[in-house]
Chains A and B, each alone.
Chain A
């Protein structure tokens, strides 16, 4: 009896939410919201729920004996957070960062990391059905991307954050 009542109330709540029908309510199981950022001209995205903060590049303390794509660590309100240079991770050499470069801080598992990108461009809503597999061929692509999605006829690469973080030490 009580369960039925509760179910009923939930349905009401859903209806109310739909009344606002501004598109955000449509974020359900089948769609995905992405933070899109760019490196050179290419757009990449990560799921918006993993992003904690976006901040301007303000230097980092380099970490010794790490791979070149580990740019160092920054102080995020008292916590030390490592910064990964996504361009360098892709093997295109270290970014020469300016004040206009951006660090996207996000959580991967129970850790917080930042990735250094050229710019953050947009928040995208895409359908899960539109996610394509990464074509076999280059191991860097298949390793670092979870998939590819098309948004307004542009290709957006979905970054696999776990892969970005893995193997940061030369001996690992």
Chain B
């Protein structure tokens, strides 16, 4: 029983991955990329979901996936044209498959007619096409009828759908011959490039025949040992190489050689299988057997072997169509292995339980602390006396740092895992609001620590929702304003120093500042006489309980949402910033730390206790005696720095701790909070800089205003992390210094 559960868990894991891939592939297909590889990939993914589902008896899922798969199959061999409508239907169907999978996971029972419309569309599309081909190829109709009438049993139907395609699909692409003329310049060798490596690279694309051209070789008298006399012509036979792919091989030596790529005629063609003339199984098997003879044995990497591998395995395991059904369980798997040969062999990965990784991360954190504690213990006397020990500790420090980086890299994940949930959201929103919306994603391979990623999903969802609901206008409005009918939401991620920037940008109407300000005044968020800059008004949308939707909509605008974004992002040490251009669009920028686990900080002392301030927020430090303070009527102080007046917060007073330090000996730490606003913190002493591991206070206690968390110093004591942003925004009279 537990074994079965384990298999199920693995299956669902795989399903989520496959669904992700489906989503990705279809997005590319929708963008006009009709590469045969993509179709093969989606087919494989659906097929795997179906296969596993059948094994566990998820009938609803299997029935739906089967119809879907059949359609894809027909699309793949060209019997159904991949029109825009078909793509849209497919994308919606991926969502439905996800729902079916989810229902299977939770044990929820979906209504019987769930997905029935789509299923009917598949069948209609497939049948419509079948009727046409039926005229010229009666045999084909039988084949199709069989498929649609059959009450589904996973095994027997499987092979039906698999066979024509495994044999037909590769031939559709066909192997192409390319002629590459390659003449290196002397500079190529001067830069220590080796043509041999390039040829090897080319050989990965297909079968190559390399001929050296030695015509230019002079006689011995005229021979310059450093001269370049040799050029090559390479013939490449490949079904997957494009001119771009070939040129990419030579990208490295661009400008250091003369290169010409010419396409020769297609190599092998006309196997019996083709779109409008469906062959029988026997013919296929024969064809496959016949081709097998030409496969050079012992050369699994060679192009022809890859190309007909599916057919071979089929022929081997299915000598006759009648017997095929029994061995179907094995056949598709082989076929998959064959077509999956495009995978890079070097990419190996293992699944590891996250808990295990977290445990390692924690222990490495402790190790870092212990190591820095050891380092702190070393005084000059020890250094002089135990040189070997000191050297050992220095090496240990390096290794520890390396180990820490390596461990963090394990936990880093591409933001893709969050981004990939959004296309569906946008589709649904577009459907509900009747708007036309396109989602573009950029930089989805940017990696962030898993702990950050986890916190990112909700805020991003809210932001995209907000853009779709409030930002993008209806088609009519857009047309009236001379904008393209379809609105665009662009989602991008990039690394900038120690931060990750995630930008959600739309080309909608922008923030209605008058409305925002009116509402803010109405709700007391902003005082009646307070004057705000445009930027400040824009950022009001993150104020708690704020919503500007004229009517509360089903999607966003319940007055919760954007403030959730802010609080979630702040919790993980990030910041949110919004800019808006009236009529042109809105851009929301999330700035996130690369990892939550380590932080570069400045260690300071306040009333005898250690505090740390994140280095990323510090602008500069000034001695109190040199700082230019001004006094305010409230008794508070402001700091004048480069013509700017900055609010001063005395941490000892703010934290209600007595400081005995003489004012003149204290320090001002000038910090930058969100949106370029500054705050000057007065501390008793500055101790130094270091890296710390962030520990939660909330784990065993609760959140404290002005404190972002704790950390453990080298001496084993706890230091508190100052939350610059919350000091800036917390009540002004509390801060009065």
Residues of A within 8 A of B702 (CB): 168-169, 172
Residues of A within 8 A of B362 (CB): 78
- A80-B699, A112-B700 known; 9 new pairs, CB 8 Å cut-off, are A62-B657, A63-B701, A63-B720, A64-B655, A65-B704, A74-B718, A80-B696, A111-B699, A168-B701
Scoring B residues 697 to 712 as 1 if CB is less than 8 Å from chain A, else 0, what string do you get? Answer: 1011110111100101
User: Taking beta carbons and an 8 Å cutoff, which residues of B are in contact with A?
Assistant: 362, 365-366, 369, 607, 609-610, 654-657, 695-697, 699-702, 704-707, 710, 712, 716-720
10 tightest A-B CB contacts, nearest first: A64-B655, A61-B718, A82-B701, A80-B710, A111-B700, A75-B712, A73-B718, A80-B695, A112-B700, A78-B366
Chain B, residue nearest A114 (CB):
B700
Q: How far is the CA of A43 from the CA of B206 in the complex (A)?
A: 85
Q: How far is the CA of A143 from the CA of B230 in the complex (A)?
A: 94
Whether a CB of chain B sits under 8 angstroms from the CB of A48 is: no
Whether a CB of chain B sits under 8 angstroms from the CB of A161 is: no
Whether a CB of chain B sits under 8 angstroms from the CB of A59 is: yes
Chain B, residue nearest A84 (CB):
B701
Chain A, residue nearest B712 (CB):
A75
Known: A75-B718, A112-B700. A65 touches B710 (CB 8 A): no
> Is the beta-carbon distance between A59 and B365 smaller than 8 angstroms?
no
Q: Which of A61, A74, A168 contacts B610 (CB 8 A)?
A: A61
12 cross-chain CB contacts under 8 A: A61-B610, A61-B710, A63-B701, A64-B657, A64-B704, A73-B701, A75-B718, A78-B362, A78-B366, A81-B700, A82-B700, A111-B699
Residues of A within 8 A of B656 (CB): 64-65
Q: How far is the CA of A123 from the CA of B712 in the complex (A)?
A: 33
Instruction: Categorize the interface residue count of chain A.
Output: 20 to 34
Chain A, residue nearest B607 (CB):
A62
Residues of B within 8 A of A74 (CB): 718
Whether a CB of chain B sits under 8 angstroms from the CB of A115 is: no
Q: How far is the CA of A81 from the CA of B607 in the complex (A)?
A: 21
Within 8 A of B (CB), among A110-152: 111-113
Q: Which of B365, B366, B706, B710 contacts A73 (CB 8 A)?
A: B710
Q: Which of A59, A64, A80, A82 contacts B654 (CB 8 A)?
A: A64
Within 8 A of B (CB), among A50-90: 59-66, 72-75, 77-82
Residues of A within 8 A of B705 (CB): 65
> Is the beta-carbon distance between B609 and A61 smaller than 8 angstroms?
yes
Q: Which of B607, B610, B696, B704 contacts A66 (CB 8 A)?
A: B704
Residues of A within 8 A of B696 (CB): 80
Residues of B within 8 A of A169 (CB): 702, 704
> Is the beta-carbon distance between B700 and A113 smaller than 8 angstroms?
yes
Chain B min CB distance to A10 (Å)? 25
Q: How far is the CA of A112 from the CA of B720 in the complex (A)?
A: 18
Q: Which of A60, A78, A80, A172 contacts B697 (CB 8 A)?
A: A80
Residues of A within 8 A of B654 (CB): 64
Chain B, residue nearest A62 (CB):
B609
Chain A, residue nearest B718 (CB):
A61
Total cross-chain contacts (CB, 8 A)? 75
User: Taking beta carbons and an 8 Å cutoff, which residues of A are in contact with B?
Assistant: 59-66, 72-75, 77-82, 111-113, 168-169, 172
Known: A64-B706, A65-B656. A80 touches B719 (CB 8 A): no
Residues of B within 8 A of A168 (CB): 701-702
Residues of A within 8 A of B720 (CB): 61, 63-64, 73
Chain A, residue nearest B695 (CB):
A80
Q: How far is the CA of A141 from the CA of B391 in the complex (A)?
A: 59
> Is the beta-carbon distance between B717 and A75 smaller than 8 angstroms?
yes
Known: A63-B707, A113-B700. A80 touches B717 (CB 8 A): no
Q: How far is the CA of A94 from the CA of B579 in the complex (A)?
A: 51
Residues of A within 8 A of B366 (CB): 77-78
Chain A min CB distance to B171 (Å)? 62
Q: How far is the CA of A81 from the CA of B698 in the complex (A)?
A: 10
Interface centre among A73, A79, A169 (most CB of B within 10 A): A73
Q: How far is the CA of A78 from the CA of B610 in the complex (A)?
A: 17
Known: A73-B701, A81-B700, A111-B699. A61 touches B706 (CB 8 A): no
Residues of B within 8 A of A75 (CB): 712, 716-718
Q: How far is the CA of A65 from the CA of B720 in the complex (A)?
A: 13
Q: How far is the CA of A64 from the CA of B366 in the complex (A)?
A: 26
Residues of B within 8 A of A79 (CB): 695, 699-700
Chain B min CB distance to A117 (Å)? 18
> Is the beta-carbon distance between B657 and A78 smaller than 8 angstroms?
no
Q: How far is the CA of A144 from the CA of B609 in the complex (A)?
A: 30
Known: A73-B718, A78-B695. A65 touches B655 (CB 8 A): yes
Chain A min CB distance to B730 (Å)? 10
Chain B min CB distance to A89 (Å)? 15
Q: How far is the CA of A72 from the CA of B718 in the complex (A)?
A: 9
Residues of A within 8 A of B718 (CB): 60-61, 72-75, 80
> Is the beta-carbon distance between B717 and A61 smaller than 8 angstroms?
yes
Chain B, residue nearest A73 (CB):
B718
Q: How far is the CA of A76 from the CA of B735 in the complex (A)?
A: 32
Chain B min CB distance to A77 (Å)? 8
Q: How far is the CA of A168 from the CA of B613 in the complex (A)?
A: 25
Residues of B within 8 A of A61 (CB): 609-610, 710, 717-720
Q: How far is the CA of A110 from the CA of B717 in the complex (A)?
A: 23
Chain B min CB distance to A130 (Å)? 33
Known: A62-B609, A65-B656, A73-B718. A78 touches B712 (CB 8 A): yes
Residues of B within 8 A of A111 (CB): 699-701
Interface centre among B607, B656, B716, B718 (most CB of A within 10 A): B718
Q: How far is the CA of A168 from the CA of B699 in the complex (A)?
A: 15
Interface centre among B369, B700, B702 (most CB of A within 10 A): B700
Q: How far is the CA of A66 from the CA of B657 in the complex (A)?
A: 11
Q: How far is the CA of A63 from the CA of B369 in the complex (A)?
A: 22
Q: How far is the CA of A79 from the CA of B701 in the complex (A)?
A: 11
Known: A61-B718, A62-B609, A63-B720. A78 touches B706 (CB 8 A): no
Residues of A within 8 A of B719 (CB): 61
Q: How far is the CA of A169 from the CA of B704 in the complex (A)?
A: 8
Q: Which of B369, B657, B712 contacts A80 (CB 8 A)?
A: B712
Chain B, residue nearest A78 (CB):
B366
Chain A, residue nearest B696 (CB):
A80
> Is the beta-carbon distance between B700 and A80 smaller than 8 angstroms?
yes
Chain B min CB distance to A111 (Å)? 5
Q: How far is the CA of A123 from the CA of B206 in the complex (A)?
A: 79
> Is the beta-carbon distance between A64 and B707 smaller than 8 angstroms?
yes
Chain A, residue nearest B370 (CB):
A78
> Is the beta-carbon distance between B704 and A63 smaller than 8 angstroms?
yes
Q: How far is the CA of A168 from the CA of B657 in the complex (A)?
A: 17
Chain B, residue nearest A81 (CB):
B700
Residues of B within 8 A of A78 (CB): 362, 365-366, 369, 695, 712
Residues of A within 8 A of B607 (CB): 62
Chain B min CB distance to A88 (Å)? 15
Chain B min CB distance to A172 (Å)? 8
Residues of A within 8 A of B695 (CB): 78-80
Q: How far is the CA of A59 from the CA of B715 in the complex (A)?
A: 12
Residues of A within 8 A of B610 (CB): 61
Q: How far is the CA of A82 from the CA of B697 in the complex (A)?
A: 8
Q: How far is the CA of A80 from the CA of B697 in the complex (A)?
A: 6
Chain B, residue nearest A66 (CB):
B704
Residues of B within 8 A of A73 (CB): 697, 701, 710, 718, 720
Chain A min CB distance to B407 (Å)? 15
